[in-house]
Structure 1
Amino acid sequence: MNLSERQLRLFVTTAALGNISRASEALHISQPALTRAIAVFEGQMGAPLFVRTTRRVVLTPEGEAFLPTAKRLLADLAEAGRMFSPQGLGIKGQVTVAVGSSFGSIVLPGAIAAFQAAYPGVRLRVVDDNSEGIARKVRLADVDLGIGSAVGDVDALACRRLLTAPLGLLAPPGHFDITDADAQGVPRLPLLRESADTSIMQLLRMHGSALLAPMSQGVEVSSLAIQLALAEAGVGVAVLSALGASHPLARGMRFVPLQPQVERELFVMRRRDRPQSLAARAFEDAVVRHLPQAALRPEVTISA
């Protein structure tokens, strides 16, 4: 038996008012429509619920027995509506998200501020890792969501693309000439080195980039903030994506995309076989909504 909220409301209102005319006015439907709806409802229930007189409608014994249940069902539906409202006033729990330092320091703060204002009952836990570690944490269900490149075994993951950002060179004006970021000019520059398991290094290896040899001689840095500080000090040229070059510490430095172009894609990832909680879904939506407001370089293309 499929009972709708509308049917329950028609029944409870008519029982409370005891009059078809007044009930139809309260429900904003015509009297014939209300009479037909009650008849259909009684047919579904398999018993008459009202006895009709010339002036009133009175509950039958079956109607009297069902009325408390109908009221309770309506109250439960109203509570569910409040719990799952867009404002999220009833959404509680915890969301754990794994994220890389670029997205985590550039986009995530604004998204979290908006999310907490809308969903004060949800606790957030943010874990920093590289893209391979992020995908692994999502796959092992150590986190609810991961935001990074689709690196490693991602067959079991649902990946929603957030943005695409080309790789390039970053240096302050006056230290190094990065005007031509092509295969011939790049090897002559002192390049800072990424850790071997980062998504940027994997992309460069996949494309057989000429940057790999000179990068192997440079200072290895795993922190984006330190990498930007070293570039600013003239220690070397940073090889990073346009997303990383959007960091506030990169303001005043010049970013030149590599030629031929190499692009990094960033996704929000979750396990396909695990139902997503309302809190995790709301957080993912908050990140997507905030993306257009983030201060990203023009080379970054937003996909979500």
Structure 2
Amino acid sequence: MAYLTQPDYVKYICSCGQLKPITNLYFCRHCLKIRCGFCICHEVDSHYCANCLENMPSSEARLKKNRCSSCFDCPSCFHTLSTRATIAQPRQDPAAGDAKIENKQPKKMYYLSCFNCRWTSRDVGIPDQPVASGGWPERTNPFAVRVNQLLEYYKAIAQQEKQEKLDRERKKFAIRGKYLTLTDKTGLTGAMARNIAGLPSSESSSSAIANFVPSQASAEVEELPEDYHTQEVNLKQITSMAQRLRAPDSQPRLAARLHPAARALSVKRSQRCRACDHNLTKPEYNPGSVKFKIELLAL
């Protein structure tokens, strides 16, 4: 394994003229040429979580925003959080008798803990959960309504620009006796085609654009507290820039407001030659497997 720590002194010329080490080159047995990372197409085969090895299709990963629902990263040091178990004793009610206390059995509860920096979910007031996987409370985005309005607005603009481009092409190639698309020949209107395909209609797109309220800048800014420049700063209670950028929706200033972040999904990708369109590398579908179905390396 000593060659992994040595610098790449020897570099080979790819078919495109790039100088690359042999560990970054591929050999296409159909074109009989050397290919580098710029000569191949990268395709995503599957999404999976590197911690729990849960495999999911691309559509499901898109709905979950490319995040795992059961694995979390530490908001302080960004390591993977582990689930710890504890025994919760029943609360004693002074108004009730001892018989009710005896009937209650100790319950097993779970919380998140980081083995690297010793951060726990109890530090920020997240209650313990009765199940080990799932059920953790999600932090709501205070700007979720505005973000959804912006998404609908830009989708409507993209749909309108696409329709205008199609209309210009239709007028440009409109020749008597010729049909540009199948809809012109069959009489199927664009609105009917969008309804059949399940796409939003042009009326809804125009209404979304008309009802959109743009943001307005305000010159009024909240004044700083009087002791802002004189109070002592405790670096243990203030988050760093990396911790704030880890949660772009809230960007917490205090460490007591940090929340676990859902772990980002990893992908298995296949690489295809741009010239002959044949696979150079293709991994196994199983996320726990490190083998390749096809592995055409320059080695």
TM-score scaled by structure 2?
0.19
Q: Which structure has the higher relative contact order (CA within 8 Å, separation 6+)? A: 2
TM-score scaled by structure 1?
0.19
